[in-house]
Homo-oligomer: A and B are copies of this chain.
Amino acid sequence: MARPDAIRRHNLRLLLDQVHRDGELTRAQLTNRLKMSRSTIGALVAELADLGLVAERVPTGGDRAGRPSHVVGPRADGPYVVAVDVDITDLTMAAVGIGGHVLGRYAVTTGSAPGTPKAVARHVVSAVRELGTQVPPGAWPVAIGVSVPGTVTRRTGMVEFAPNLNWQHEPVGAILGAAAPGGLPVSIGNDADLAVLVEHLRGNARGTDDVIYLMGRSGVGAGFIMNGQPLTGRDGYAGEVGHNVVDVSGPQCHCGKFGCIETYIGDSALLILAGRHGVASADNVAAVFSDAINGDAVAASAVRTVADALGRTIAGLVNILNPERVVLGGSLAHVHAFAPGEIVASIQRHAMGPARDNVHLFSSAFTDDASLLGAAELAFATLLDDPIAVRPN
Is A317's beta carbon under 8 Å from chain B? yes
Q: Contact: B233 with A321, CB < 8 Å?
A: yes
Q: How far is the CB of A313 from chain B (nearest CB, A)?
A: 10
Asked if A385 CB lies within 8 Å of chain B CBs, one says no
A249 near B246 (CB under 8 angstroms)?
Answer: no
Contact of A350 among B229, B257, B316 (CB under 8 A): B257
Given known A-B contacts A231-B321, A244-B320, A354 and B226 have beta carbons under 8 A apart: no
A238 to B210, CA, bound (A): 11
- Contact pattern, A 347-360, Cβ under 8 Å of B = 1, otherwise 0: 00110111100110
A301 interfacial contact with B, CB 8 Å = no
A259's nearest neighbour on chain B, judged by CB, is B247
Report the interface size for chain A: residues with CB under 8 A from the other chain. Answer: 47
**B151 adjacent to A354 (CB under 8 Å):** yes
- Complex formed: what's the CA distance from A160 to B324 in Å? 17
Q: Are B352 and A151 in contact (CB under 8 A)?
A: yes
Q: A319 at the A/B interface (Cβ < 8 Å)?
A: yes
Contact A236 B322 (CB under 8 A): yes
Contacts of A111-170 to chain B: CB distance below 8 A: 151, 153, 160-161
**Chain B residue contacts of A184, Cβ below 8 A:** none
Known A238-B321, A320-B222, A322-B235: A350·B245 in contact at CB below 8 Å? yes
A110: chain B residues at CB < 8 Å are: none
Residues A161 and B234 in contact, CB atoms below 8 Å apart: no
Q: A29 interface residue, CB < 8 Å from B?
A: no
In this complex, what residue of B is CB-closest to A355?
B237
B-chain residues with CB within 8 Å of residue A238 when the two chains form the complex: 320-322, 355
CB neighbours (8 Å) of A237 from chain B are 322, 352, 354-355
A354 contact from B235, B315, B355, Cβ within 8 A: B235
Does A232 interact with chain B (Cβ within 8 Å)?
A: yes
Q: Residue on B with the closest CB to A312?
A: B245
Q: What is the CA–CA distance of A350 and B241 in the complex, to the nearest angstrom? A: 12
A75 within 8 A of B: no
**Contacting A241 at CB < 8 Å: which of B248, B320, B349?**
B320
Known: A312-B245, A353-B161, A354-B151. A209 touches B229 (CB 8 A): no
Point out the residues of chain B lying under 8 angstroms from A244, CB to CB.
Answer: 315-316, 319-320
Residues of A280-324 contacting chain B, CB below 8 A:
312, 315-317, 319-324
B161→A319 contact, CB < 8 A: no
Which residue in B234, B239, B352, B358 is a CB contact (below 8 Å) of A323?
B234
Q: Is the CB of A353 within 8 A of B233?
A: no
Cα A295 to Cα B349 in complex, Å, equals 42
Of listed A231, A316, A350, A354, residue having the most chain B CB within 10 A: A354
Would you call A320 and B322 a contact (CB within 8 A)?
A: no
Which A209-258 residues have C-beta < 8 A from chain B? 209-210, 222, 226-227, 229, 231-241, 243-249, 257
In the complex, 19 of the A-B residue pairs with CB atoms within 8 angstroms, ordered by the A residue number, are A151-B352, A151-B354, A161-B352, A161-B353, A210-B233, A210-B234, A226-B231, A227-B227, A231-B231, A231-B321, A233-B321, A233-B322, A235-B354, A238-B321, A240-B352, A241-B319, A244-B319, A245-B246, A257-B350
Give the B-binding residues of A (Cβ under 8 A).
151, 153, 160-161, 209-210, 222, 226-227, 229, 231-241, 243-249, 257, 312, 315-317, 319-324, 349-350, 352-355, 358-359
Beyond A151-B352, A257-B349, 10 extra complex contacts between A and B, CB < 8 Å = A226-B226, A232-B322, A233-B321, A235-B322, A235-B358, A238-B320, A245-B246, A245-B312, A245-B316, A247-B248
